[in-house]
Amino acid sequence: MYTNPQGEITMALNIACHKSLFNKNYHPHIIICILGSTGPIYGEIKRIGDTQLGVPTQLNAKLGGQNVILTNDQIDFVSSEPTVIFGADIFHSGRGDNRPSIAAVCVSLDSKATRYGRFSVINKDPRNEIIEDLKGIVIDLLRVFYQRN
């Protein structure tokens, strides 16, 4: 996908992510952006990928590297004993579009809460705000957490 670097990068990254969800039925593992130079757009791409989409935009993260580490005093409530953090969201297509909604659940995988796993599922009913089979998804993600901790 090509986009104008002066244009709306948030929209372009969201479209790339959602095309993967709708066309391939899975959340992308990485979004690769090729830039002519690093500038303000680099930080914006990284911020959107890390904070809004939950998708690494750098090979470092895809290969198991960590982009951010908080000190123990910043996350003492998490690092003092094994703690799992969950996040979840549902994406709906536009008004009048009857495509199924897509739900995503993510989970922290380490004591620093910097590595994460995720699970995506397509809700059969459009506009359904309840994540279908959430119990099964949580059980699967908890197994992954306990295997690593």
Higher pLDDT, 49 or 1: 49
10 Å Cβ neighbour count for 136?
11
Q: State pTM to two decimals.
A: 0.53
pLDDT of residue 135: 92
Residue 131 has pLDDT above 80, yes or no: yes
Arithmetic mean of pLDDT, 22-46: 75
User: In this predicted model, what pLDDT tens digit does every residue of 44-83 receive, in sequence order?
Assistant: 887 777 777 877 776 665 556 666 666 777 777 776 777 8
pLDDT of residue 102: 79
DSSP 131: P
Where in the chain does DSSP place strands (E)?
86-91, 102-108, 116-122
Q: Which residue has the tokens 């908890």?
A: 142
